[in-house]
Structure formats: structure tokens, C-alpha cells
Amino acid sequence: MKLILTQDVDGLGAPGDIVEVADGYGRNYLVPQGFAIRWTRGGEKQITTIQRARDVRAIRDVGHAREVADQLAALTVTLPQRAGDGGRLFGSVTSAAVVEAVKSAGGPVLDRRRVQLPGHIKKTGKHTVEVDLHPDVTASIALEVVPA
């Protein structure tokens, strides 16, 4: 079965890639989960749109990834969250909230799917969050969660 990937799939490809997979894997998992769409001749326009969007937010090379990692290391990221007594949060910190906090702190725009949270962050205080910028480069963000 020929499919066009719409999201990153480990071991398979990146958005915009055309892949050949087993019929059951594509029909029962990739398409229903929204990871891929069926390949058609008219899908070529969708491929260019997906690849253009991927190129805008992609890290170009290892050197660029290291520059972004240096920018992230220099940032002090503060994330206000609703908290109760004792600093316990109502809910937990999400990767989308971390990306938004980095952006509001003057940092680069990140892909939320690349943010690796250290488990569930459910308390205020200082935490370290990892970001996979490139297969060879991982950046650390010092995140301080404060009560809002």
C-alpha cells in the first residue's frame, strides 16, 4: 500500500514522504491515527504543501541545531500555571505549554513533538526539559514553573 506521511513516524519517515507499507499496517493503524493519507496522483499538491511546512520549522543541519541549542541554554523560561496549596498544579505541564513559554521568553519556535518532558510535571519549581533538535544534538531547557 502506498501512503503519504502527514506526521513523523519512527522508522518509517517524515511528513511528506511517500512510503510503501503492508496493507494492514496502513489501513488499520497509519490512516486511522492520522499519520498518513492514501497516495493518489492528486496528492502531489499535498506533498509539496506538507514538505514546505516541514522545511519552515526544520533544523537545517548540525551547525544550526547547535546554534539553537546555545540559544535555548541561555534562556530563562518561566511558565505560570494554576497551582494549589503546597505548589501542586491543577493538571500538568504539557509540551505545547513549554513551546509557548520558550517563544514568549524570546527563544526560537520549537516543534512540540520534539520536546521530551521528564515524566509528568505536577509541581511548581525548577525542572529540566530536553529538546531533540537533530539526531546528534539535544538541548536542555531550564524551566521554572511558578504559580499563576
Determine contact, residues 129/114, Cβ cutoff 8 Å: no
Range 62-147 classified under CATH 3.90.1150.10: no
Q: Is the Cα torsion angle 82, 127, 122, 33 positive or negative in sign? A: positive
Query: Would you list the domain boundaries of the chain?
Result: 2-57, 62-147
Superfamily of chain region 2-57:
Ribosomal protein L9, N-terminal domain (3.40.5.10)
Other Cβ atoms less than 10 A from the Cβ of 131: the count is: 24
CA distance linking residue 130 with residue 134, whole number of Å: 12
Q: Where are the beta strands (DSSP E) in 1-124?
A: 2-5, 18-20, 36-38, 77-81, 115-116
* DSSP SS3 for 16: coil
Question: Both ends of the chain: CA-CA distance in Å?
Answer: 50
What single DSSP character describes residue 43?
A: G
How far apart are alpha carbons 67 and 142 in whole angstroms?
A: 17
Tens of pLDDT, residue by residue, the chain (148 residues): 999 888 888 889 888 888 999 999 999 999 999 999 998 888 777 787 777 776 666 666 778 888 888 988 888 899 999 999 899 999 999 999 999 999 999 888 888 888 999 989 999 999 999 998 887 888 999 999 999 8
Instruction: Note whether 26 and 32 are within 8 A (CB).
Output: no
